[in-house]
């Protein structure tokens, strides 16, 4: 009689296989696709490093806005001091973040008249990156609808834990991007297209991996 190895048939996938499968998930592919749009801006519309860093600052605003919606869903109302506390603290964080972007990555003054103040200057740049911001908003919004609402992630996390989620994502990724971006400016590579493309690609890798960690935790569990 022939022996049949059932263990081979029902062998659990390795972490590597789970990681590859998760990276092929539609929500991850949508996130990667949205993050590829800035490459078009760099290659064909002469986006500089300030445009890229400003876009990522605006994306942080999208992340914060959706986190407020997540907190409201978890709490089932606005009736919690943690929600306004997060809004105020995150707004201060966004202000400091923008200040650092303006100081370190100094926008190209040639794109506006000399009479523009800092606010109008940022507004001018925002107009050029709105389409890319829209795709990033769609990506994060789709993840919110599918993972958080449809897959009911809100049942697996507390309000206090959710309040800290954006910082866990932003601190790791943006500190890395700031250091790399500062190095690019310091070495006078800020007009080098290849250097800016490298910055964008590193951000894509960070985004995809952080997304997998947040929404596909099975990969990191022992099995």
Q: What are phi and psi of 187, to 5 degrees?
A: -90, 10
Q: What is the mean pLDDT of residues 30-34?
A: 86
Buried b / exposed e over 178-201, threshold 16 CB at 10 Å, is: beebeebbeeebbeeeebbeebbe
176 vs 55, higher pLDDT: 55
Could you read off the pLDDT of 114-153 as tens digits, one per residue?
455 556 666 777 888 899 999 999 999 998 998 889 988 8
- Kindly indicate the confidence band of residue 176, based on its pLDDT and cuts at 50, 70 and 90: confident
Mean pLDDT of 82-101: 92
- Give the pLDDT of residue 12: 62
What's the confidence (pLDDT) of residue 62? 95
pLDDT at site 106: 75
Answer whether residue 134 is part of any domain. yes
> pTM of the full predicted structure?
0.80
Within its chain, how far is the Cα of 179 from the centroid? Answer: 17
Q: How many domains does the chain have?
A: 1
Lowest-pLDDT range of 72-76, 108-112, 124-128: 108-112
Residue 4 belongs to some domain of the structure:
no
Examine the pLDDT at 214 and tell me if it is beyond 80.
Answer: no
Q: What is the number of residues in the chain?
A: 223
- Residue 83 resides in a domain: yes
Higher pLDDT, 84 or 187: 84
Q: Is residue 3 part of a domain?
A: no
pLDDT, position 218: 41
* pLDDT mean over 81-86: 93
18 alpha carbon, distance to own chain's centre = 22
What are the start-end ranges of the H helices in the chain?
A: 6-9, 15-23, 26-44, 49-75, 82-105, 118-143, 159-186, 193-215
Task: Report the distance separating Cα 138 and Cα 83, nearest Å.
Answer: 23
151 occurs within a structural domain: yes
Q: What is the mean pLDDT of residues 209-216?
A: 73
Q: Which domain holds residue 178?
A: 13-105+113-220
Average of per-residue pLDDT across 73-94: 91
| 3-state class (DSSP) for residue 190 | coil
Q: Quick check: 87 pLDDT over 90?
A: yes
**CB-based contact 143:211 (threshold 8 Å):** yes
The answer to the question of residue 176 being in a domain is yes
Q: Which burial class, exposed, middle or buried, applies to 67 when counting CB atoms under 10 A from its CB (0-12, 13-18, 19+)?
A: buried
């Amino acid at each position: 009689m022939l022996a049949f190895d059932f263990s081979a048939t029902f062998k659990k996938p390795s972490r590597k296989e789970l990681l590859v499968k998760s990276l092929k998930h539609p929500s991850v592919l949508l996130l990667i696709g949205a993050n590829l749009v800035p490459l078009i801006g760099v290659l064909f519309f002469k986006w500089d490093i300030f445009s890229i860093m400003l876009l990522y600052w605006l994306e942080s605003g999208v992340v914060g806005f959706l986190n407020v919606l997540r907190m409201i869903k978890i709490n089932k109302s606005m009736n919690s001091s943690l929600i306004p506390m997060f809004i105020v603290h995150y707004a201060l964080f966004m202000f400091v973040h923008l200040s650092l972007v303006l100081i370190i990555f100094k926008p190209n003054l040639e794109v506006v008249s000399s009479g523009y103040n800092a606010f109008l200057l940022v507004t001018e740049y925002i107009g050029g990156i709105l389409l890319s911001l829209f795709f990033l908003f769609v990506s994060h919004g789709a993840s919110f609808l599918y993972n958080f609402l449809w897959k009911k992630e809100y049942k697996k996390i507390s309000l206090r834990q959710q309040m800290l989620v954006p910082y866990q994502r932003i601190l790791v990724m943006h500190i890395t991007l700031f250091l790399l971006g500062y190095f690019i400016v310091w070495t006078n590579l800020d007009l080098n297209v290849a250097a800016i493309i490298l910055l964008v690609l590193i951000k894509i890798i960070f985004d995809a991996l952080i997304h997998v960690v947040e929404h596909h935790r099975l990969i990191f569990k022992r099995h």
